[in-house]
Structures are given as C-alpha cells and as structure tokens.
Amino acid sequence: MTTAVSQSVTSVTPDSATPRAIRLTRVAMLLAVGMAITFTATQHERLAFDVAVTVCGLAGIALAHLAHAMVCRGRVGSGVALSLGIVSLAAAIAVPFTVSVVGYALVIAAWALISSLLEFLSAVVNPGVRQDTTIVGGAGILLALFTLLAREDPVAVVGFFGAYAIITGVFLGISAFDGRGAAAKSSALLDTNSPS
C-alpha cells in the first residue's frame, strides 16, 4: 500500500511543480527591469526612454513566461504561462505605438490587469501548489490602479512599473528557494492517501 501512495505522490508532484530554474529566470527578468528603471531615473522625463525601457522589460517578462510554457508543456498551468507570455509580448509590441502618456499608461494598466487575472486563474487551475500567484496577481491589480491614477505622469507610471518588478521579483525569488510549500503538499498527499 505504501508503494502505491509513494507512486501517486511522485506522479503528481513533478507535473504540478515549476522547476526552480524557470522560476529564477522570471525573477532575474523582473529584477533586471526594476534595477534598470531605478538606475536610469534621470532619463525618465523623456517618454521615448520610458517606452524603450518598458518594451525591453515586457519583452523579457514575456520570454520568461514563454520559457516556462515550453519547459512545462503538457503540465497543469503551462497554458496560463503561455497566455501570460503572449499578453506580455502583445503589450511590448503595443507600447511603442502609443503617442501620448495616457496611451502609454493605459497599455501598462491593461497589461497589469490582464496579467493579474491570469495569475488568479493560475491559482484556480492549479490549486494548492504555491501561493505566489495570488500575491503577484494582487500586485498586478495595484499596478493597474496606481498607473491609472497617475496616467498623466510618465515618471510615476514607469516608476510604478519598476516598483512592481522589484517587489514581485524579490517575492518570487524568496519563494523559489522556499521548500516548505512543496514539502507541505507532499505530506498532505501522503496524509490523504494513507489508510485509516
């Protein structure tokens, strides 16, 4: 009986877990975007520079999500990762076509809102694996809200985008090295499958 339980645990756990290297790729992209925005603060008065930094950031985030979708193809949640990658890539393509600060802010807010909804969807599709999606989804909603409130100020919009990148990057980085979630899930599966 214990063999059947351990087989069911090993067959379920790898499919639902995202490899650490993929999670760290997303972390690296988010932190790189946040640091680039932070250390180029003197350039943020020019909308063209803000657009260029945002395009590079969104493209990097899209690549991280698309890599996640490719590596985890066929597993639970890979469709959401693919959708997140496509939405980020679409936003990266749309940002250069904005002709005003308000248009730029609206694209960032739309990307943040759609991404956060997809993160929440990921929590529903793959329940109990990690709580990361809920926190990142909440941060995305805050980014959309703050961006819409400061839609006339390009410095504030790019600053909020950079703050989002740093906060979610640090949180996901800590989460990538936290093994308690996987251990708790494995023990919960063992407890539910053990004979009473």
At 6-47, the pLDDT tens digits run 443 333 333 346 778 888 988 999 999 999 999 988 888 888
- So what's the pLDDT on residue 73? 80
User: What's residue 6's pLDDT?
Assistant: 44
**pLDDT-wise least confident of 36-50, 87-101, 112-126, 178-192:** 178-192
For the chain, the average pLDDT equals: 82
Where are the alpha helices (H) located in 39-149, listed in sequence order?
Answer: 47-71, 78-94, 101-125, 132-149
Closest alpha carbon to 38 in 168, 170, 155: 155
Residue 190 has pLDDT above 70, yes or no: no
pLDDT of 138 higher than 50? yes
Mean pLDDT of 86-106: 94
State yes or no: pLDDT of 124 exceeds 90.
Answer: no
pLDDT at 133: 83
Q: Is the pLDDT of residue 1 over 80?
A: no
Q: What is the pLDDT of residue 17?
A: 61
Residue 162 has pLDDT above 80, yes or no: yes
Residue position matching structure tokens 């395009």: 55
Residue 66 and residue 104: Cα distance in Å, rounded? Answer: 24
**Nearest residue to 90 via CA among 117, 108, 116:** 108
Task: Return the structure tokens found at 36.
Answer: 């680039």
Task: Tell me the average pLDDT across 71-99.
Answer: 88
**Between 190 and 28, the higher pLDDT residue:** 28
Which of 61, 85, 66, 58 is CA-nearest to residue 158? 58
pLDDT at residue 151, as a whole number: 92
CA gap 158, 34 in Å, rounded: 10
Q: Is the pLDDT of residue 187 over 50?
A: no
According to the model, what pLDDT value does residue 11 have?
35
Lowest mean pLDDT among 6-15, 55-64, 120-129: 6-15
Mean pLDDT confidence for 90-105: 94
Which candidate, 149, 87, 76, places its Cα nearest to that of 112? 87
